[in-house]
Structure 1
Amino acid sequence: MRASRWILAVLLVAPIPAIARETAVATRAGTAGDAVSELARQTDTSIVITDPDIARRAIPSLRGRMDAAEAIRRLARAAGARAVAVGPSAWRIEPAPGHARPLTSTRKPAPRADTEVQQQSRPEPIVVLASKRDLRLEQVPGQVSILDGKVLESGGVGGTDKITQRLATVSSTHLGSGRNKVFIRGIADSSFTGPTQATVGQYLGDLRLTYNAPDPDLRLSDMARVEVLEGPQGTLYGAGSLGGIIRLVPHPPVIGVASASGIIGGSLTQDGDPGGDLSATVNLPVSGQRAALRATFDATRRGGYIDKPVLGRDNVNRTDILGGRVSARVEIAPDWSVELVALGQTTHAVDSQYADRGGAPLASSARVREGSEADYAMGQFVISGHIGEIRVRSTTGLVRQHLHERYDASLPDGPPRTFAQANRTRMIANETRFWMPERRGFGWLVGASFTHNNTVLTRTFETANTRSAATGVRNTIDEATIYGEASLRVMGSLVATAGGRLTRSRLGGEGEDVLPAIALANARVTANRTLATFLPSLALHAELGPESALYVRYQEGFRPGGFAIESDFVRRFRNDHTATFEIGARHGRPGTGPFDLSFSLSHTRWQDIQADFIDDIGLPSTANIGDGRVWSASATGGLAVTPGLRLEAGLTWNESKIDKPPLALLTRTMQVPNIAHIAGRAGFTWDHEIGEDLRLTANGWVSYVGRSRLGIGPELGEPQGDYLNSGLAFRAGSEGLGVTLSLTNIANSRGNRFSLGTPFSTGRDQMTPLRPRTVRIGLDTRF
């Protein structure tokens, strides 16, 4: 922590470069709107186009060394507009007097010493922020998926389910919103929310959402995009990125602009209750042209569809979600800015969403009221800027997450009984990094981070007349890290990348509500311990053409150990470790051009796998279950059939085996749990002009999730998966106002997303069906 404070202090007193500093500018031919986005990133300025017609105008590329003001003025002139400075590093591009049409001449101007303007047909580059050093999509040696924020809002604002619907490589458990675990590729550990760290790192900006807590299922409203990097990503992201990372990129506050947008919708679920959703976003300039405020508010009600005949209640599993995010951006000096972010979300599930297999459709025989409450809060402080050509970003954040769950724990011949589990997490984290994008064939990144995470898991059994505490556990970790990565263009089209991450972790833990006699015998496991881990990475990336690339890479990942509960005892489990070799290829870019295709094949050795099982008294516990190996292959592609119609498809295959598991956990199939052998998706997007400023758009998808197993051990060997899901959405309107109609689970398939409702399931065969066919009508507006 002390090191992080010194780094932050250096940043605050570092000399600030002058705004007129020249920089290398390189925008590609395309629309003015796309060019402005690229130029704003390169010059670290805020640029707003006031006229949508100007944003759609085609302009040539712009290249050379110049200051930001000159680059913005040249771009504006190319679009037949003018640039107006509205702040120290904020600009507005507006119609120029006497220019009703854009400049259409494609003649090459006279050569100049500092710049060259030329036509190019390639689309604007996409900068992958999750690379942490501004790599373009085609430069990343690995599989990257980028989901546009507008696409994620199609059919209403959702959460992680919007990601799993669109990517075959991303899957999730289905305990319920705010309780699930997310997996990427074939790397999954267990079905429960225990002390193990997640296998997927989830981030908002540069700050991790959770450490060893479930997916908070944040609403994906007002998102610029979501980036998914398949793992491991140990060098850049450290512990808990075995399967990869999911990075949420919200729209930042825009200086000098006042705007608002909103979405409202209502839904009807077959054999269930109605629901509704509301989302609103506002952007406001503050303090002249040096600051801006952006706020988003979300409210969602999902109607229930599960009945509990024993209790005489229908549609019990209603879920209410209420959340919001506020961010402020202040330009403290030329090329330097500070951003403050605060968000919160509360999720209340009235009851559980599982049913009894083989009984009445959509019905549960549970004898008590179950359900959950999940509360999540985060605060971030971000400072970013330039020191010469070196870019700097430091993020400090606080996270608080509470999850309270209730399960039916009634014994067959006993009274109704409830098992309650509470998971309370606190995290403090800082990451500071310095990097330089590629210059003369060489680019680099160095960084340091510190994370303190404390989690307390408590458990109780309750009947109408009694309440008794079960053994719980507290886990604490302090994790300090330094890391670096560098790339060298060894040939014109061949780039070699190497990196490493050194992590020192201090772990501690102790039992909660442990019986005195057991505590004395078990005292030895409550001591602190320290471990050091080094994670190397290597990659070769070859550009085979303007739109084609081939790569090979080696990457490692790990998760620290901790303390778990087994029966009435607290014991240790060790850290686990993965080593992955991957080969892949890409051609084209999704959504631009006539055709795109990507493919990857990976092999992972997984040592000392951390996973959950059912202990002797029927409660979830955690242990190292042996070593394993995972083969994974995925392919995605798209085809532009007509200018307005695009088809896309994706397929993933996983094969896994666990070697030498403990005898108590032996089953006939020792595969990694929760990962289907086969999963696939197909979809389409369609865009058609139906009048002046009016368009009709549509998108649809169908996905298949193959068979998988719930978990490890005889009690968790239940099959799940093997179902189809589908969706269709239409929108008619202008950019400022539109009406939407969407339909999900078109075939009204029951399926079985997850074979778990309560771990106390003696004599019961459980399943988690898909939400029945649901239709939604919505209205969206922006101004």
Structure 2
Amino acid sequence: MPRGIKGLCIAALIAAAPAEAAERQEISIAPGRLGDAIIALGKATDSSIGTSDPWLADLSVRGVKGRLSVGQALSRLLSGTGAKAERIDDTNWRIVRAPRARAIARAPAAQNAPALPAEEGPGEDIIVTASKREVPIGQFAGTVEIVDTSAFGGADAAGGTSALIARVASLSSTYAGAGRNKLFIRAIADSGFAGPTQATTGQYLGDMRLNYAAPDPDLRLYDMAAVEVLEGPQGTLYGAGSLGGIIRLVPNAPNLTDFGGQVGAGLSLTQHGAAGGDVSGTLNIPLVAGKLGLRAVGYANTDGGYIDDVLRNKNDVNRTNVEGGRVALRFAPDDDWTIDLSGLYQRIEGDDAQYASKSIGRLKRESPFAQNYASNYSLANARIEKRWDDISFVSTTGIVRHRLAERYDATQDNRPPELYFQRNRTELFSTENRLSRDLHDGLGWLIGVSYLNNRSSITRTLGPPGLPTPSTGVRNRLSEWTGFAEASVQPVEALVMTLGGRVTSSRLSGSATDLAPEPLFSFADVAMAEAQANRRETIFLPSASLLTNAIPGMTLFIRYQQGFRPGGLAVDDYHVTRFRNDRIATLEAGLRHGTPGYDRIALAASVAYTDWNNIQADLTDRRGLPTTTNIGDGRIYTVEGRVVLTPATGFSIDASMIYNGSLLSQPASYLRTLSYEGRSLSLPNVANLGGRLSANYRAMLNNGDVLSLSGSARYVGKSRLGVGPIFGREQGDYVDTSLSGNWTRGPVRFSIDVTNLLDLSGNRFALGTPFDLESDEYTPMRPRTVRAGVEFRF
């Protein structure tokens, strides 16, 4: 039978005796063609399910069984196919092509069919998979932003974390160099220095944790389905190190039915600097059709330098090279089991530091030697999922190995040149096993257990080049057992209440390394600090939220959540000291209306109050060496909002802003003297104001080609490097602008991107070397850069 006739036949499916569509029934649909599956589902439920699109009828779908409503059964059948179900009335449904943003929102599900071309269409609830349940965004009580990477070009993927920072107003970073930065969400920022503290922002690849006591690995964003940013503490579901929120990268899963891939390349030219380039490739191979598939990604990037060192008479010294790749193997033996094995490796090499000196000239500095660095990052992960009806079990286990080596100019005034070398080694093992049940309208529950073991060490040398002297370092170890649970119920109509909690039992230990007979060094102090660091403790983190959709088209929520970071050992002025746990609690209220890009007006807003106790912060001691201490208690007020206008098909305007009011309300005793003349101390690296404005246009031409244009401007407000006048150097207060365009003809896409359109030299980070906090060193924005690229899909 011709395809067109088959499609029309499916459109005229059974209209049986009326039945309540939302009623749950025993359903058993075998895997196969979508057309056959919806005919069987219609007969089983006395519903009419149709489509007039013959392409959809031949989609391959996994089977579904259990006691389900028609909507739940369709949702499972269509998961990962690029199609969606629209409810017409109580007994009638229509299958249509889904906008790409909806398909990627469920990216972790099996992808047994090719993705459909992006089309405009009515909005459907995006699924917040970072909730660890399939919670629609309209039922998610919290501030979340899902970055649709279908709009990413080669420049965005090659940009890594910087591409996310350019799009999410609440996300910020230090700028010490790719692979050694610290990421912050909202105003939950401790300091710009790198020490043994755990990150305030949790980072994940799928369900696998990426970092612990280490900086942002800055993975390139090739072949990503979506990126989810959850704001505010996420202690119940994600535990320690999620004080500010989490960033979850969602990679495309292997396609089990179709061979394909993509190759791309780009050339970039930086004004006042050197050229750069990038190449990438993705390959998908179905090894056993419908059951076993392999997906591999490889890439290499070079960002040309633009800083000149006048002392050494070298130009464009700060070039950065990145190379890496990912591989994923998916095995789906039947409808209920999915097994994923994955691994990645990435190496970043920075030829020199990223900072300049204002007094010497724009994009210039002078230093006696190169301050290069290297980051090596590797990960291996196994994920197993089993489904029974509306219940699922997920087990994720993996290991991370991260090595970061850095060199700094430690030369002091009127003294011979000295070089500081630091090596940070981190090894992380984590496993999580959880059971969850997803009901309608975001209701359901989950319960899980996890274990984490992290070992980190910092070794250091300081002295003339070629004659390094070991300096005391530290080694910290943490093992953590956790049980967590969360449940969402509906006590009254249109009101969803969610309660959760996490109990963590930790064993912490720390020790000093490379002990040297330095002045003022006390072995008794070392023994006492180590005794304090070796301990066990149990922490309970509660969470609660209320959400209502009582106002049509509007979601209102209020949420309370806590988070924490464990303590450890640090070295301060030749002394080994202990820093204590810090803990955070946030109360926020917010609203959402509409779906960005699909409704004429979509808006989101929230206001939050955060109380932060025993704040851990990486600072420097009197010698300039990085150290860690507790700086006191703080509080933060946050107000943020986003409005997306879509006045015409294919055209949208996106505006967002965030305001942070921070204060170190109870400084530690040694900091109180810095509050001179009654001046209050603000928290470090917290921009008081930020915002972003963008315009996007997409159109399909008469010949089928697709043209996309976008432009954006992002403002980063003022902040300070650290606490008090010594570290109080101002940074920020600049505007970053960009333009991009791409033209897609068949399998080929040509693109051109311009960043820092105005060629400004804003101060992104007021730190060059931690051994010089008095000069005018700063980290400038990358000058105007133009990239031209091409991508070919097959």
TM-score range, shorter chain: 0.7 to 0.9
- Distance of 2:634 and 2:774 partners within structure 1: 31
Partner of 1:718: 729
| Counterparts of 1:365 and 1:327, CA distance in 2 | 45
1:170-185 equivalences in 2 (<5 Å): 170-185=171-186
The 1:612/1:88 distance shift into structure 2, 3 A limit, reads closer
Contact 2:480 2:506 in 1 (8 A): yes
Aligned residue number for residue 236 of structure 1: 237
SS of 1:526 mapped into structure 2: helix
Alpha-carbon spacing, 1:484–1:476, altered in 2? closer, same or farther (3 Å)? same
Counterpart in 2 of 1:756? 767
Report the alpha carbon displacement of residue 234 of structure 1 after superposing the two structures with TM. Answer: 0.8
Cα distance change of structure 1 residues 179 and 556 upon mapping to structure 2, 3 Å threshold: same
- Counterpart of 1:758 in 2: which secondary structure? coil
Moved more, 294-303 or 436-445: 436-445
Q: Which residue of 1 aligns with 2:124?
A: 124
User: What's the offset of the Cα at 1:754?
Assistant: 0.2
Q: Is the 8 A contact 1:629 1:656 kept in 2?
A: yes
Match of 1:29 in 2: none
Deviation, 1:359, is 2.2
* 1:540-559 superposed matches below 5 A: 540-559=546-565
- Give the corresponding residue for 2:417: 416
Q: Which moved more, 1:689-698 or 1:138-147?
A: 689-698
Unaligned runs of at least 5 residues, structure 2: 1-26, 65-85, 97-120
Q: CA shift at 1:765, angstroms?
A: 1.6
Alignment of 1:19-58 (within 5 A): none
Post-superposition shift, 1:43?
11
Determine the C-alpha separation between the residues in 2 that align with 1:267 and 1:727. 14
2:145 paired residue number: 145
Is residue 525 of structure 1 aligned with residue 529 of structure 2?
yes
Tell me which residue corresponds to 2:277. Answer: 276
Q: Give deviations 1:351-374, integer Å, cap 9, x for gaps.
A: 011001232110112222102100
Which has the larger displacement, 452-461 or 635-644?
A: 635-644
| Partner Cα separation in structure 2 for residue 166 and residue 782 of structure 1 | 26
Supply the distance in 2 between the matched residues of 1:750 and 1:575 (Cα, whole angstroms).
38
Q: Which residue of 1 aligns with 2:113?
A: none
Question: Which residue of structure 1 aligns with residue 757 of structure 2?
Answer: 746
Bigger shift: 441-450 or 404-413? 441-450
Pair 380,75 (structure 1): closer, same or farther in 2 beyond 3 Å: farther
Aligned residue among 544, 549, 554 for 1:538: 544
**Alignment-derived partner of residue 426 in structure 2:** 425
1-structure distance, mates of 2:600, 2:307: 45
Q: Aligned match of 1:731 in 715, 733, 742? A: 742
The CA deviation at 1:173 is 0.5
Residues 77 and 751 from structure 1, CA distance in 2 versus in 1: closer, same or farther, beyond 3 angstroms?
A: closer
Partner of 1:453: 454
For 2:87 and 2:305, locate their aligned partners in 1 and report how far apart those are by CA, in whole Å. Answer: 63
Partner of 1:597: 603
How far is 1:465 from its partner?
Answer: 4.4
- Are the structure 2 counterparts of residues 122 and 489 from structure 1 closer, same or farther at C-alpha, using a change threshold of 3 Å? farther
- Per-residue CA deviations over 1:591-612 (Å, capped at 9, x if unaligned) read 1111101000000111111112
For 1:307 and 1:661, locate their aligned partners in 2 and report how far apart those are by CA, in whole Å: 40
Letter in 1 for 2:337: W
Structure 2: distance between partners of 1:454 and 1:643: 52
Q: CA deviation at 1:289?
A: 3.0
Distance, in Å, in 2 between the alignment partners of 1:356 and 1:213 is 28
Q: CA deviation at 1:332?
A: 3.0
2:78 corresponds to: none
* Counterpart in the other structure of 1:377: 378
The 3 A distance-change label for structure 1 pair 674 and 65 is farther
Q: Determine the structure 1 residue equivalent to 2:108.
A: none
Q: For residues 505 and 129 of structure 1, what CA distance do their matches in structure 2 show?
A: 27
Bigger Cα displacement from structure 2, 201-210 vs 483-492:
483-492
Using a 3 Å threshold, how does the CA distance of structure 1 residues 441 and 172 change in structure 2: closer, same or farther? Answer: closer
CA contact (8 A) 1:153 1:221 kept: no
The two structures have a TM-score, normalised by structure 2, of 0.85
- Cα distance in 2 for residues equivalent to 1:43 and 1:127: 24
Q: CA deviation at 1:388?
A: 4.0
**8 Å contact 1:233–1:244 — kept in the other structure?**
yes
Shift of 1:733: 2.2
Once the 2 structures are TM-superposed, how far is the Cα of residue 531 of structure 1 from its aligned partner? 1.1
Q: Contact 2:620/2:626 (CA < 8 Å) preserved in 1?
A: yes
Whether 1:703 and 2:714 are equivalent positions in the alignment is yes
Structure 1: unaligned runs, 5 residues or longer:
1-41, 55-61, 91-105
Which of 642, 647, 665 aligns to 1:641? It is 647
Alignment of 1:162-201 (within 5 A): 162-201=163-202
- The whole-number CA distance in structure 1 between the counterparts of 2:748 and 2:450 is 44
Q: Following the alignment from structure 1 to structure 2, what is the Cα–Cα distance between the partners of residues 601 and 275?
A: 42
- The answer to whether structure 1 residue 561 and structure 2 residue 580 are counterparts is no
Contact 2:139–2:442 under 8 Å retained in 1: no
Partners of 2:38 and 2:645 lie apart in 1 by 31
Amino acid of the residue matched to residue 638 of structure 1?
A: V
Cα deviation digits, residues 16-45 of structure 1 (max 9, x gap):
xxxxxxxxxxxxxxxxxxxxxxxxxx9999
- Equivalent of residue 660 in structure 2, options 632, 654, 665: 654
Give 1:524's aligned amino acid. Answer: M
Whole-Å Cα distance in 1 between the matches of residues 151 and 470 of structure 2? 46
- When residues 46 and 583 of structure 1 are mapped into structure 2, their CA distance, relative to the original with a 3 A threshold, is farther
| CA distance 1:447–1:512, change in 2 (3 Å) | same
Q: Alpha-carbon deviations, 1:50-91, whole Å to 9, x = none? A: xxxx9xxxxxxx999949x999x997854234755879769x
1:174: how far off? 0.5
For 1:269, give the aligned amino acid.
Answer: T
Aligned partners of 1:454, 1:613: CA distance in 2, in Å?
A: 21
**Residue 691 (structure 1) aligns with:** 702
Q: Contact 1:202–1:209 (CA<8 Å) still a contact in 2?
A: yes
| Pair 448,153 (structure 1): closer, same or farther in 2 beyond 3 Å | farther
| Change beyond 3 A, Cα 1:693–1:119 | closer
Matches of 2:765 and 2:176 in 1, distance apart? 8
Q: What secondary structure does 1:187 align onto?
A: coil
Between the aligned partners of 2:95 and 2:594, the Cα distance in structure 1 is 19
Assess if the C-alpha contact under 8 Å between 2:154 and 2:264 holds in 1.
no
CA RMSD of aligned residues (A): 2.7
Mapped partners of 1:119, 1:88: distance in 2? 16
Deviation string 1:314-338 (CA, Å, 9 cap, x unpaired) is 1000000001000000013331011
Q: Which residue identity does 1:523 align to in structure 2?
A: A
Distance in 2 of aligned mates of 1:118 and 1:466: 74
Find the aligned partners of 2:497 and 2:307 in 1 and give their Cα distance: 54
Which range moves more in the overlay, 116-125 or 424-433?
Answer: 116-125
Aligned residue number for residue 500 of structure 1: 501
Residues 483/603 of structure 1: CA separation in 2 closer, same or farther (3 Å cut): same
2:165 is paired with a residue of what secondary structure?
Answer: helix
- 2:581 corresponds to which of 575, 587, 600: 575
Q: Secondary structure at the match of 2:236?
A: helix
Structure 1 partner of 2:99: none
Q: In the alignment, what sits opposite 1:776?
A: 787
| Secondary structure, aligned partner of 1:413 | coil
Give the aligned partner of residue 590 of structure 2. Answer: 584
Distance change (3 Å), C-alpha of 1:735 and 1:171: farther
Per-residue CA deviations over 1:663-719 (Å, capped at 9, x if unaligned) read 443244511111110001000110123331112111110001010000123321100
Q: TM-score, normalised by structure 1?
A: 0.87
- Give the Å deviation of 1:122: 5.1
SS of the equivalent of 2:194 reads: coil
Percent identical pairs in the alignment equals 41
Residue number in structure 2 paired with 1:216: 217
**Residue pair 1:658, 1:670 contacting (<8 A) in 2 also:** yes
Q: Could you give the per-residue CA deviations for residues 615-667 of structure 1, whole angstroms, max 9, x where no partner exists?
A: 12222211111111100010001101221211010000000111232344324
Counterpart AA for 2:129: L
Query: Which residue identity is paired with 1:124?
Result: E
Q: 1:469 matched to which residue of 2?
A: 470
3-state SS of 1:123 partner: coil
Does residue 623 in structure 1 map to residue 624 in structure 2?
no
Q: Secondary structure at the match of 1:593?
A: coil
Shift in Å, 1:735: 4.7
